[in-house]
Amino acid sequence: MAHQIEKLAVSDTADLYYTNAWFTQIEAHLPYLRSSPRTKIVDVPPDVADRHSTNPTGLLDELGYPRHMHQVIVRLNAWNNPVGMDLPLRILIPDLSEVEKIRIKLSNTYNRVIM
C-alpha cells in the first residue's frame, strides 16, 4: 500500500515551478527564449482565441500545454493584461527541453544549497 501512495506523490521538482526563484530565472531567460530558434510561433484558431480572449489559462489548457509551462508562456508573450490579448492570436511557445534545462540548473543550485 505504501508503494502505491509514493507513486502518486508529487515530486519536489513540481514545487520548484512555483517558487520566486523559478519566476526570477524565467524573467532572466526571457530574451534567450524569445530569440531561440527552437521557440515556435503558434497560430491559435480564431474560434479558440475568441473563446479564451480574456483567459490565458483556459487557452493554454485547451491547446494542451502543461500547467507548469503556463507562467513561462504568459511571460514570453508579455501578457501583462489578459484583456489586451489580440485576436487572431499568434503566440510564442518555448521549446520544452530549453525550459527543462533552466529547471535543472535551478534544481542543482537548490540541491547544493540544501545539502
* pLDDT tens-digit series, residues 29-38: 999 999 999 9
Distant-in-sequence, close-in-space partners of 87: CB < 8 Å, separation ≥ 6: 46, 49, 50, 53
Q: Are 26 and 72 in contact (CB under 8 A)?
A: yes
What band does 10 get if pLDDT is binned at 50, 70 and 90?
A: very low
- The DSSP bridge partners found for residue 91 are 42
C-alpha cell at 32: 534567450
Cβ burial, residue 20 (10 Å; 0-12/13-18/19+): exposed
